[in-house]
Structure 1
Amino acid sequence: MYVMNQIRIGAILSYFSIFLTFIVGLIYTPILIRWLGQSDYGLYSLVLAFTSYLSLMDMGVGNAIVRYIARNRAIGDSKTESDLIGQFLRFFLGISVLTLIVGFIICIKVPDIFRNSLENSDIRTAQIMIIILTISFALSFILNVYSAVLQAYERFAFLKLSSIIRIVLVPIITIIALATGGSLISMTVITTSVNIIILIIGYLYCKKIIGIKVTFSPIEQDLKKEIFIYAFLILLTSIADKIYWQTDQVLLGILKNPEVVAVYAVAIQFVMIFMTLSVALSSLFLPKLSKIVTEKNHITKLNELFISISRFQFFVLALAFSGFIIFGKEFIILWAGSSYEQAFTIVIILMIPFFFDLVQNTGLVILQAKGLYLFRTISLVICSILNIIISIPLIEQYGSTGTAIVTAIFIAVGNVILLNYYYYYKIGLDIKLYWKNIIRIMLPLLVLVILFYKIKFNFNLETVGLFVSMFLYMILYIITIYSLCLNTLEKKSLKKIIKFL
């Protein structure tokens, strides 16, 4: 009961934090764009995308912490749990030192990498930002061990509240800093400082509230090997994800200019919101699924969870994506300015295949829980490498639209078609039943979207009129979902959630 309450509270807080992120972004991003200008905003986005590769120094071990601590909790082996945490801390101490070395090497190489696309003053600013972010990553790696332990212990309420505090604090302090003459460097210091403080609070929670014990005794060689293989596969997947969502911006920064990066960065912001909507729920189930796969005849439970969670994710994501299809162009022009209008096209190109990948995100969590990530990793790495190779000439000829099309094609192949094949033939998930469910609930929504898209031009889509139209669409969407798409169990669950709130 406690665990289910934590999952329920975690899910509610997750979606609240996403809503809050959207509202904050609604106010915060236009302020940044207008105060910094398109060039500086593009530089800021470029540096964040470039340094985000340092997060790969995690090497997939962060995800492994959740899986193996949760598994040890299920079998009640507290001694191995303490040893595991100690080994993870020792590992990340070494990784932090390595991160500092790699980060400073990158900093030195920045003038050579961006000499054709950045001014000298921009290069100096980028170097300082990279140093700050490198130090932040080095500290975060060690402290993130305790965040992973909190997730393994299913303390979702605390984790999500921490996330909400971060979402609110960073923009408020940044706006105050910019209003008093702050710069890109000030923004970087503020963001990293808030993140580190939140992580320190998580460490104190682990030590004082949960009473986590850490020992540095060696763990069994077989277990160490198993963790290494699992973490390595997660690492390769993370590299592929970075190629999909960050390398496009880096390539645009090298081959084009910061202004083009700024437009693409705005598009990626919307894509990341859709991604967060999906991950917010599915990520809560890794500890639970890690326990289920230890049971005999667990495939029935996995199928039930896979389809039920995917249906719920479809309802949430379809509202966001269909709303964006109808109102996205007008919203971006109002929100960021007419110079960012192309971001709408980029989002649509990327999200058409990515939507179907996100809806079934629980499948990825099942792969993690079962330790069957190899096929996903290999297919994703191959697709991501081909993505880079084909994107470079298309960026030179077609700019950001060209690289978006290439990325979308490989998302469809690697993340949807190949994975569904694997889910069906290797895991034993009932993919045919899954798609019957998805198509059945998708058809009435397609009719609603087409009708509303045609009649939207009868509304005044400037400022207040735009938001009134969006609210009206949301009401019609909810009515359609409830009356035509939800099954009896989902309606009961919805009533329970409303009652809980």
Structure 2
Amino acid sequence: MSQIKKGALLNYTTIFLTNVVGLFITPFILNHIGKAEYGIYTAIGALVGTISVLDLGLNNTIVRFVAKYKAEKDRKGEENFLATTMLIYGAISLTVVLIGVLFYGHIDTYFTKMNAEELRIAKTIFILLICNLAIGLPGGSFTGICYGYEVFVFPKTVNIIRYILRTITVVAVLTLGGKAIALVVIDTVFNVLFLIVEIYFVFFHLKVRFKLHEFKLKYVKQIFGYSLWIFVFALVSMFQWKAGHWILGSIALPEVLTIYGIGIVLGTYYGSFSTAISSVFLPRATKMTVGNATGEELTSMMIKIGRISFIVLMYIFGAFLLFGNQFVYLWVGKELGVEGSHETWLIALLIMIAYTLPLVQGFGNSILEAKNKLSFKAILYLSFLFLGVVLGAFLAKTYGALGMITGTVTGWFIVQNVMNFYYHKVIGLNIIRFFKELFHKTILMVIIIISLGYLINLIPGAGWISFAVKAICYSVMYALLMYNFGLINFEKELFKSSIAPVLKKFKL
């Protein structure tokens, strides 16, 4: 099995693990640290996450240029490039610390709805996360190097191990009385330990070297010429996932931040199932671009990836649309209440609706990165999502967390539709063919399955047993109908080849 297939498989293992464990551990954390402290934890995390845009897109730049230098067998160029990026990362880490020191003194004046004890907790978490970020930003480059070498198995396996150990530690510490601050300490320790493991792998297994053969501004310009638009996309991501926390943090109680934060978490779980596929294809997109692949060839690849993503996403979306409200109440209803649970479900549902098209067309972004044509998309997204956040801030005054997310996803939805014209007219992708083949057989099955799902929802009961019965019935129905009537031959063969090693192992 190739590194790409293994990487995608490990991505899905990670996603399954993090999502399933996350679903169990979130109510556990809420129960042990309380709704208010959880809101502080997510709000400060989002605030420090905003500072992480100072990465300036260098991580993705490393993936692209390492893949390029490796394809060209330019060892010296690779060494010089990596040494230059490390110098840049050193300056970035110093800037992160300085910004952290500057903002620390203004936490009290910004989070006006927090009491004295809540502000103390917020400040402690902020300091720890700033230190974590200063170390983590340059540390992420080692994962980028692995991806550039199309080595996905090791870093993803390490990530799985880290998550398992981190989860066990969190459960133990909170059981013994730890609170939100303890969570941040745990994350910092694990990040440092596993960063050391990745550094060892890159230097001693991949035999990568960082050597500054010459320092010229043209190298820095080359790096930032590519990473600039990835940096802008980091700003876009900031508006998508973190701006709501800033705005609600200044006008709402920590409990509202918890409702919003959990809704965002569910929405990001949804997206992770698709990005698991598309994230391993940036090196492949780079190779196809260097090889002057035609627009139709790139479209064919985008269709293959898009259909697989769409089939997976529609399974999740249909289930959440039908049974999500019941699930969220059972999951965190004790802490959030009926109204809070319903609002969380609506926030996540709105994210899923707006997120589907960008996720299905994720390979299109890889093509833009490989062709170094991110500028239009970056400016478009940044402009409309900024307007979406402004609209959300206006709506949040009346409708709280639900108003905030409504404004954000409105800008998000509009801009992705505009991007399809750009893909078609400028990049040369056949978007009409993309949608025609994407929906071939699948869309009819999705409509039929969701329609039948409403009948499944008539199964009586409001507890976990009722939910489990509904979920199993839906899953079996989706699998049977989609496999027999929604998949094309290529996808059926891909599915068979993926499960064949498992069946062989267990002699099934």
TM-score range, shorter chain: over 0.9
The amino acid across from 1:21 in the alignment is T
Q: Which residue of 1 aligns with 2:33?
A: 36
TM-score, normalisation: structure 2: 0.95
Q: Is the 8 A contact 1:87 1:218 kept in 2?
A: no
Which AA in structure 2 matches 1:356?
L
The structural deviation recorded for 1:49 is 1.0
1: CA distance, partners of 2:250 / 2:167: 29
What corresponds to 2:505 in structure 1? none
Q: Which moved more, 1:468-477 or 1:81-90?
A: 468-477
Aligned with 2:242: secondary structure? helix
Task: Give distance in 2, aligned partners of 1:166 and 1:336.
Answer: 26
Partner of 1:257: 253
Q: Is the Cα–Cα contact under 8 Å of residues 303 and 438 in structure 2 kept in the other structure?
A: no
Match of 1:182 among 168, 178, 181: 178
CA distance in 2, matches of 1:192, 1:216: 30
Q: Which moved more, 1:469-478 or 1:166-175?
A: 166-175
Closer, same or farther in 2 for the Cα pair 1:455/1:59, shift >3 Å?
Answer: same
1:468: how far off? 2.4
Unaligned runs of 5+ in 1: none
Tell me, yes or no, if the aligned pair for 1:346 and 1:404 is still in contact at 8 Å. Answer: yes
Partner of 2:297: 301
Instruction: Please tell me whether residue 21 in structure 1 is matched to residue 21 in structure 2.
Output: no
**Does 2:487 correspond to 1:460?**
no
Matched, 1:284 2:285: no
- Answer whether contact 2:6 2:153 (CA < 8 A) is retained: yes
In structure 1, which of residues 252, 267, 272 is the aligned counterpart of residue 268 of structure 2? 272
Q: 1:148 aligns with which of 140, 144, 147?
A: 144
Amino acid at match of 2:80: D
Report the Cα offset of residue 129 of structure 1: 0.8
Aligned residue in 2 for 1:431: 431
Q: What one-letter code is carried by the residue in structure 2 that aligns with 1:95?
A: I
Aligned-pair distance for 1:355?
1.2
Question: For residue 33 of structure 2, what is the amino acid of its counterpart?
Answer: L
- What is the identity, as a one-letter code, of the residue corresponding to 2:234? S
Shift of 1:306: 0.5
| AA of the residue aligned to 2:448 | V
Letter in 2 for 1:424: H
Query: Alpha-carbon deviations, 1:382-409, whole Å to 9, x = none?
Result: 0122122222221111111111211121
2:96 counterpart (86, 92, 99): 99
Q: Give the aligned residue type for 1:401.
A: L
1:461 deviates by 4.0
Partners of 2:34 and 2:454 in 1: CA distance: 33
Contact 2:129/2:184, CA 8 A, preserved across alignment? yes
Deviations 1:285-343 (A, max 9, x none): 11111111011344333112100000000011111111111110010000101342210
Q: 2: distance between equivalents of 1:367 and 1:340?
A: 39
Distance 1:234 1:332 in 2: 34
Partner of 1:320: 316
* Shift in alpha-carbon separation, 1:119–1:83, aligned structure 2, 3 A: same
Shift of 1:85: 0.7
Deviations 1:194-238 (A, max 9, x none): 122122111110011111111012366555323212211111111
In structure 2, relative to structure 1, the CA distance for the partners of 1:297 and 1:363 (3 Å cut) is closer
State which of 198, 215, 219 in structure 1 corresponds to 2:194: 198
Give distance in 2, aligned partners of 1:133 and 1:43. Answer: 13
Query: Which residue matches 2:478?
Result: 477
In structure 2, the residue matched to 1:368 is: 369
Picking from 48, 51, 61, the partner of 1:64 is 61
Shift of 1:455: 3.4
1:233 aligns with 2:229: yes
**Aligned equivalent of 1:406:** 407
Kindly provide the amino acid, as one letter, of the partner of residue 447 in structure 1.
I
Deviations 1:397-426 (Å, cap 9, x if unpaired)?
Answer: 111111121112111111x21111111111
**Letter of the aligned partner of 1:196 in structure 2?**
V
Residues 433-452 of structure 1 aligned to structure 2 (within 5 Å) = 433-440=433-440, 441-452=442-453
- Aligned residue among 185, 206, 209 for 2:205: 209
2-structure distance, mates of 1:265, 1:467: 25
Mapped contact 1:166–1:194 kept (Cα < 8 A): yes
Give 1:128's aligned residue.
124
* TM-score, structure 1 as length reference: 0.96
3-state SS, counterpart of residue 458 of structure 1: coil
Q: 2:79 corresponds to which residue?
A: 82
CA–CA distance in structure 1, aligned partners of residues 421 and 485 of structure 2: 29
Q: Does 1:379 align with 2:380?
A: yes
SS in 2 for 1:481: helix
Amino acid at match of 2:94: V
Aligned counterparts of 2:293 and 2:206: Cα–Cα separation in 1? 33
Task: Work out the CA distance in 2 between the residues paired with 1:207 and 1:480.
Answer: 49
Residue of structure 2 equivalent to 1:50:
47
1:145 offset after TM fit, Å? 1.7
Q: 1:296 to 1:439 in 2, by over 3 A?
A: closer
**C-alpha displacement at 1:491, in angstroms?**
1.1
> Match of 1:489?
490
Mapped to 2, the partners of 1:388 and 1:492 lie a distance apart of 44
1:372/1:219 CA distance change after superposition, 3 Å? farther
Contact 1:350–1:408, Cα closer than 8 Å, also in 2: yes
Whether the aligned pair in 2 keeps the contact of 1:459 and 1:469 (CA below 8 Å) is no
Alpha-carbon separation, structure 1, partners of 2:461 and 2:438? 33
CA distance in 2, matches of 1:108, 1:451: 56
Give 3-state SS (helix, strand or coil) of 2:105's partner: helix
- Paired residues in the alignment total 496
% identical aligned pairs: 28
CA distance in 2, matches of 1:278, 1:155: 20
Where 1:154 maps in the other structure, the secondary structure is coil
Query: 1:344, CA displacement in angstroms?
Result: 0.6
**Offset at residue 141 of structure 1 (A):** 1.8
> 1:310 and 2:306 equivalent?
yes
What does residue 165 of structure 1 align with? 161
Conserved 8 A contact 2:326-2:462? yes
Structure 1: distance between partners of 2:27 and 2:328: 10
Could you tell me how far 1:73 is from its partner in structure 2? 0.7
What is the CA RMSD across the aligned residues, in angstroms?
A: 1.4
Q: Give the superposition deviation at 1:142.
A: 2.1
CA contact (8 A) 1:64 1:227 kept: yes
Mapped partners of 1:137, 1:340: distance in 2: 32
Alignment-derived partner of residue 420 in structure 1: 420
Look up the SS of the partner of 1:210 in the other structure. Answer: coil
Looking at structure 1, the residues matched to 96 and 220 of structure 2 have their Cα atoms a distance apart, in angstroms, of 22
The answer on whether the counterparts of 1:80 and 1:219 sit within 8 Å (CA) in structure 2 is no
One-letter amino acid of the structure 2 residue matched with residue 383 of structure 1: F
* Cα deviation, residue 88, structure 1: 0.8
Q: Partners in 2 of 1:482 and 1:59 — Cα distance?
A: 42
